[in-house]
Chain A
Amino acid sequence: MNPLMRIDPRGVILPVGLIVLAETAARLTNLQSDALAPPSDILLSGIKALTDGSMLYATWQTLANAFSGLAIGFTLGMGLGILMGLFHPLNRLLEVTVEVLRPIPSVALLPVALLVYGFGHRMEFSIVAFATLWPALILTRSAIAGIEPRLLEVSRALQLSLSARIFKIVIPAALPRIFVALRLAVGISLIVAVTVEVTTNPMGLGYKMMEASQGLQPGLALAYLVWVGMLGWAVNGIMVLAQKHLFGAAANVEARL
């Protein structure tokens, strides 16, 4: 069952119907609005922004920021998660620190990052990194805890060194579940990046959307909104496909935070 390949015609009726309804309503009322635009206008603005390259450039900025932040945050989180999963005393000693720091909403650090780095790439990285570190840590830790204990016994019997134990036993065994964590973190990184751009950072898709909306170009603003949705959907779809492709049946694990 591949959700991307299998399309139920009944599911198409609602979105298509809504678009047609919005178009006719806008035409009939001769819509003059600073906030809404007919779907045809959204489509035209979207195509125009795509062809003149501004939308693609903004997409590149957003994705670059999201993924470099993700690289930092996920690597740190995964590393800590592996250590905490392998060494129980460490896990217990850091318990309070993790539980206290984790619920800090990532946007609360926005002004801090703004103060330290000013506008630009670095402030966005740092927030995305903070936001993705915790799911990476928690899910890697539970992935390690879910490893078949006999594998760890084998590694002990073979007297593997710590690095050999981590790279030959622990990571391969926990990889399917770590990948689920990565999939989740990719989604989070994109959401956080757009959020940072909407609120403060003058770059990327979020800022473009804000700019178009404040410049009274509702068609363009909504085109960016649709584009962000499509991007999120596509990125998630790619991750789902990669997961199935790479891990097959082992991929059928659910992540829950």
Chain B
Amino acid sequence: MKVERLLWLGASVLVFAGFIYLWQLICDYRWVSPVFLPGPDRAWQALMRGMTQGDLLVRWIATIERMIYGWLLASLAGICLGAVIGSSERARAYIGPTLELMRPLPASAVVPLAIALLGLSETMVLAVIAFGGLWPMLLATVHGFSAVEPRLYEVSRALGLSRTAVIFKIALPSSMPDILAGMRLSLTVALILAVIGEMLASRDGLGSHIMLAARAFRSPDLFAGVILLGVTGLMSAMLLGWFESWMLRWRESR
């Protein structure tokens, strides 16, 4: 079984390599103007040059830092607020509808407001990331808290647990799957908003890097940036996936 799985994975990697080769062929035969589409060779060269000589690495790290800070801020605020709202029936009745009203608002739509309030600053970018990442976290936590098996609450009442004990010993662990799903969604949103914030506020990072490269028609640099952003998205999703299965290892063992 395991061998078969590995063979399929190998074949799948080969198919992906085939697509890259096709991309190379398209560029070699100039089916698409090289102004728009550089071949993988030129994109790779630009990537390597930027990493070793230019400041691509510094920009990449700056983007990742922004994404992680904003995401941590959003996660922390989301879980705390969500725990308060989710653990009380009354709070849910009062605050829930407002949250539902705010939910479909695109996070990028608050960017103009954030710029007017905070200027084109680092704080603005972080605030937008945190605001955008907050909603998936908040809603997931509220949902997780309200979906806790009611008998667990009855047990905690019978045991005379305090409210903090209930939150930390019962509600948080049992809403962990929801919270982790929210964190994954929120991380995706954080990366997108970090890039948008950098583009708009011209903060040094991958977002401004690819925007400047596009304006100057330096397509290899542009694609190098896009590749790095793809890698960032892929790696963060994978890391969080591992973290999730590690945190939820109790679930499989049942």
A8, A198, A229: the one contacting B97 at CB < 8 Å is: A8
Interface stretch, picked from A47-55, A90-98, A173-181, A243-251, is A90-98
- For the complex, would chain A's binding face be called helix, strand, loop or mixed by DSSP majority? helix
Contact between A111 and B222 (Cβ–Cβ < 8 Å)?
yes
Contact B115 A232 (CB under 8 A): no
Q: By the criterion CB–CB under 8 Å, are B109 and A100 in contact?
A: no
* Complex Cα–Cα for A82 and B235 (A): 28
Complex: chain A residue closest to B109, CB-CB: A228
A-side interface residues, number (CB < 8 Å): 60
Are A229 and B98 neighbours in the complex by a CB distance under 8 Å? Answer: no
Asked if A112 and B226 make an inter-chain contact with CB atoms under 8 angstroms apart, the answer reads yes
Which of B16, B100, B102, B195 is the one whose CB lies under 8 Å from A105?
B195
Alpha-carbon distance between A200 and B215 when the two chains are bound, in angstroms: 12
Question: Would you give the shortest CB distance from B90 to chain A, in whole angstroms?
Answer: 8
B193 to chain A, nearest CB (A): 9
A-B pairs with beta carbons under 8 A, tally: 167
B104 within 8 A of A: yes
Residue of B whose beta carbon sits closest to that of A234: B104
Interface of B is mostly: helix
Kindly specify which of B151-159, B163-171, B206-214 makes contact with the partner chain.
B206-214
CA A111 to CA B236, docked complex, whole Å: 22
Question: Interface residues, chain B, CB within 8 Å of chain A?
Answer: 8-9, 11-13, 15-16, 19, 35-36, 93-98, 100-102, 104-113, 115-117, 181, 185, 188, 191-192, 195-196, 199-200, 206-207, 210-211, 213-215, 217, 219, 222-223, 225-226, 229-230, 233-234, 236-237
A-B contact pairs, 18 of them (CB 8 A): A95-B8, A103-B230, A103-B234, A103-B237, A107-B195, A108-B206, A108-B225, A187-B104, A198-B112, A200-B199, A209-B109, A209-B112, A210-B111, A212-B112, A214-B112, A221-B112, A228-B105, A236-B104
